[in-house]
Amino acid sequence: MTALCGTMASQAQIQTNAGVEYLQCMQKDMSTDFSDLANTYFLADSLVSFDTAKGEGLVEWKRYRLSPRQAFNLNGYWPVRMQMLDFPDAAYDNDPRLKLSLEFITPRTARIRMLTTPIEPKATDGESVMLCDAFKQRETSPGPSCRREEDSRSIRYSTDYGTIEIQKYPWRIVLKDAKGRVLTQTRHLIDNDSSQVKLLPFSFIKRGSDNSRSVNPVLTLAPGERIYGCGESFTSLNKVGQKVHLSVTDPQGPETDGQYKPVPFYFSNRGYGIFMHTSAPVTCDFGASYIGANRMFMGDELLDLFVFFGEPKDILDEYTNVTGKSPMLPLWSFGTWMSRITYFSQQEGLEIAKQLREHKIPSDVIHFDTGWFGVDWQCDYQFAKDRFENPVGMLRQLAKDGFHTCLWQLPYFTPKNRFFPEIVEKGLHVRNATGGMPYEDAVLDFSNPETVSWYQQKILGLLKQGVSTIKCDFGEAAPYNGFYHSGKGGLYEHNLYPLRYNKALWEAVEQQYPGNGIIWARSAWAGSQRYALHWGGDAATTNTGMLGDLRGGLSFGLSGFSFWSHDMGGFVTASPEDIYRRWLPFGFLSSHTRAHGAPPTEPWLISESFTEAFRECAEMKYKLMPYVYAQAKDCSERGLPMVRALLVEFPHDQGAWLVEDEYMFGSQMLVAPLLESGTGRDVYLPHGKWIDYQTGKVFEGGYQHIEAGRIPCVILVRDGSLIPHAPLAQRTDEIDWNKVEMKAYKADATKCSGLLFKPGDTKIQTIEQ
């Protein structure tokens, strides 16, 4: 017990002193650097000059230090003006005047950039892998016309959707909606005058240790304000009151505050959104340390913010116009994926396919996880010769039976891997200060074009044999102390690693199957939505694991990702039948559906009644495939999520902003999983009538207790919906699209409408009855 307590204490110390030491699995807390008494603090003070035609000017930053202060029973610190001791003093400015720029990209999107050094970075948007090609090409053209006004107090840029005001002194940036209501604004030092809490305002630091700089924009939080986004976060959807670390990590499951897929983007219920265009770690303190302030502690020395105006759908559309939209995925990918950790042989894979067909469980994909190599977990891109006698023949047989095949791999190579010497000899790995490796394993450096080419050739070798797609596992461990081919250090490359990894793999699949690119990835960063799709990681086989996955999927969808999946029943141990049974409808009513985890995951190995439950859920999705496919196409065009928080669809319903344990599946179906044992649950329904998908019973908007149907889940349809259904098929390529039926769900509605998009179509149809 003593040893255990000592370990826990040391871990707590590491967590609270984030700048001192990190375990590989831990997030970076950038906020600690902004309370270090050894650092110099520069506080944004006044606008010195500004050219409204060019959208450029200079901001004066006042130099401060943090001074300890005793006040009876507390010791704290206050910012105190400082005269520099830098030598030679003529070479530096005590209070530097540094560049600020502002431009509107579209009527709803503006960009604000600020420097913390007189030297402008050489990097251009063309080099940013976070920004999509369409945005990069579009940026060279003139921005939208906006109204520019200036008086003695401020400069204002306005469009029909909002205003950005730059106040001269005290310097502030103020965001206003189209009616002139202040949405948020930056904090200035004088805002502390009315409070005993002396909060650092909008500032940047110069570290006393090495003169490196990091910026800390600080915005106000209004009473009742709610913040959403930040990636696949497993904590409460509303981030106000939380401290969110945007640094890629392996949290070991969706039950902690760590993230496989952080995204430096969020939006507010007040009608604005922010994209922090950076790959450096960020800690967002959304009112956690001071309830009226949103403090973004950024590792980056450059501030590059995209600001969006509008409701959630507008903001998601604008954000994904900048970073890219999820591509439409192949029809087969929306079918059932059957997997476990792991199938070890050709015989086993073919037997699983046979059993799926014999048990009449509609399905389209067989996934081989870590065991298809000669040595389990030892990625060498070759089927084990003693267990896969004829892999090409196996792939052909599976394809004949209507199955696509997915294979697992990872980007780390142990010293015993046969490719390890080649990777080291060719310098394809991330390096340390000596040119060696930061740790024992060789970590592929995807910022190196030669590494990408080497890797893609290995992947293409598998795809050419008949493999349909590849699992893009791991990717969270790019060393912070590494040296990368890009010329950047680990502080900037760590978070980019998943994006580069996703991109390299997706492009290989797209090269082999043009127009059908798809991967199955765990880690991500801003822009990874262009390389779909992603799943929720290694969930516990508990109610908590199910809730964590649901929250993570909703938050991920609020961060620009259209497609997402999770391991039905959880991953870690064999799933208890009750949990697995309740998880099934949640899994089948997600964009993508996979059974995966510790065996048994196959329903016929659990019980006959469970097999029937599994089959019934699979049949439901396959009958709904025309709805799924049309909604997926709509999502890919508008940056919307398939697993959708109610607030996206009902932004004017205040209750919808509070819900985080139910969701819209597309735009017309509401799903409320049973997160605990039982036959029903309390559900919040937005205003209007709702029809039970299973029983046909009609419910009014508001809070209701609803019993689940035969499928253990509350599934409802919006009044006035046309939901396309297809005759049941055992595989997606056998769906008869000529027999699609538009089923009307109507209570008070006088007419019904729905979307239809068939394979081969170029445009979504809106059908009305």
Q: In the chain, what are the helix, strand and coil shares in percent, each to the nearest 5?
A: 25, 30, 45
Q: How far apart are CA 301 and CA 763, in angstroms?
A: 44
User: Does the annotation count 358 as an active-site position?
Assistant: no
Contact 381/442 with Cβ under 8 angstroms?
no
Helix (H, G, I), strand (E, B) or coil at 612: helix
Mapping DSSP onto H, E and C, the string for 104-131 reads EEECCEEEEEECCCCCCCCCCHHHCCCC
In the sheet with 162-167, reading across from the earlier edge strand, the strands are 147-150, 154-158, 162-167, 172-177, 182-185
| Number of Cα atoms under 13 Å in the Cβ half of residue 144 | 15
- Which is the catalytic residue, given 45, 473, 634, 660? 473
User: Does the annotation count 538 as an active-site position?
Assistant: yes
User: Does the annotation count 473 as an active-site position?
Assistant: yes
253-254-258-259 Cα dihedral, nearest 10 degrees: 100
**DSSP state string for 272-309:** EEEEE---S-EEEEESSSSTTEEEEEES-SSEEEEEEE
- Which is the catalytic residue, given 191, 225, 476, 662? 476
**Alpha-carbon separation of residue 382 from 199, 388, 389, 416, 660 (angstroms):** 57, 10, 12, 15, 43
Contact 469/521 with Cβ under 8 angstroms?
no
CA R_g for the chain = 27
Of 484, 502, 503, nearest to 494 by C-alpha is 484
Mapping DSSP onto H, E and C, the string for 538-601 reads CCCCCHHHHHHHHHHHHHHHCCCCCCEECEECCCCCCCCHHHHHHHHHHHHCCCCEEECCCCCC
**Alpha-carbon separation of residue 295 from 173, 218, 283, 288, 511 (angstroms):** 15, 5, 8, 9, 43
Class of residue 683 by CB neighbours under 10 A (exposed 0-12, middle 13-18, buried 19+): buried
Alpha helices in 113-212 (DSSP H): 133-139
**Alpha-carbon separation of residue 379 from 415, 416, 448, 479, 753 (angstroms):** 12, 10, 20, 20, 49
Long-range contacts for 28-32 (Cβ within 8 Å, ≥24 apart)? 28/245, 28/247, 28/281, 28/283, 28/299, 28/480, 29/243, 29/245, 29/283, 30/214, 30/245, 30/281, 30/282, 30/283, 30/297, 30/298, 30/299, 31/243, 31/283, 31/285, 31/289, 31/295, 31/297
- Which is the catalytic residue, given 538, 549, 602, 649? 538
All residues at 6 or more sequence positions from 310 whose CB lies less than 8 Å from its CB, including other chains: 108, 161, 271, 273, 318
Of 152, 127, 155, nearest to 139 by C-alpha is 127
Q: How far apart are the first and last CA of the chain?
A: 69
Tokens of 508: 């290989």
Contact 104/146 with Cβ under 8 angstroms?
yes
Beta bridge partners of 166: 155, 173
Q: How far apart are CA 588 and CA 593, in angstroms?
A: 5
All residues at 6 or more sequence positions from 76 whose CB lies less than 8 Å from its CB, including other chains: 68, 69, 198
Residue 43 CB neighbour total at 10 angstroms: 22
Tokens of 126: 């063309």
Active-site residue list: 473, 476, 538
